[in-house]
Amino acid sequence: MEDCIFCKIINKEIPSNFVYENEDVIAINDLNPKAETHVLVIPKKHVASLNELNDETEALKIFKGIKETVKKLGLTDYRTVINTGKNAGQTVFHLHVHILAGKLSIENL
Ligand code: 5GP
Ligand code: ZN
């Protein structure tokens, strides 16, 4: 999708280091980390938020991507966060899952 920062990262229009990638998701380090480890798992298919996610297969692919990302990072203890809607703190309207581990710099994301 045009003018979507995460689509541009996925399409490599903006260079970024993928900490994990499979055919359905990428995982990147958050630009502004709120924990020692702060990674975003992002589906390659543009979906604006969890409210627009209606495809169960796509949902499973995202969960699989989360599990494969934490495995690659060697994490067993971590927090996952999905902000949905601007009043809940969503700033990028391409669905993504935060993975936070280690010392958190703030209690709530
Ligand atoms: P949200 O607030 O929408 O749940 O989370 C968006 C996250 O994306 C924020 O934590 C923000 O730091 C991160 N972010 C925004 N733009 C970029 C970017 O260009 N690169 C990376 N790696 N992270 C970004
Ligand atoms: Zn997008």
Residues 1-18: tens digit of each pLDDT: 889 999 999 999 999 999
Note the ligand closest to the C-alpha atom of 4.
2
Q: How confident is the model at residue 60 (pLDDT cuts 50, 70, 90)?
A: very high
Q: Which CATH superfamily is domain 5-108 in?
A: HIT-like (3.30.428.10)
Spatial separation of the C-alpha atoms in residues 48 and 61, rounded to whole Å: 16
Q: How confident is the model at residue 107 (pLDDT cuts 50, 70, 90)?
A: low
> Span 28-47, mean pLDDT?
97
Window from 22-26, 41-45, 58-62, 105-109 with minimum mean pLDDT: 105-109
For residue 20, the cross-strand partners are 27
Give SS3 for 104: strand
Domain spans in the chain, listed from the N-terminal domain onward: 5-108
For the chain, helix, strand, coil in percent to 5 are 30, 25, 45
**Which residues lie at CB < 5 A from ion ligand 2?**
1, 4, 6-7, 46, 94
b/e per residue 93-102 (b: at least 16 CB within 10 A): bbbbbbbbbe
Does pLDDT of 108 surpass 60?
Answer: no
For residue 39, the cross-strand partners are 29, 99
Asked if residues 88 and 34 have their Cβ atoms less than 8 Å apart, the reply is: no
Q: Which residue minimizes the CA distance to atom 16 of ligand 1? A: 31
Question: What share of the chain has pLDDT > 70, as a percent?
Answer: 96
For this structure, is 98 an active site residue? no
pLDDT attached to residue 22: 98
Average per-residue pLDDT in the chain? 95
Distance 66 CA to ligand 2 centre (A): 18
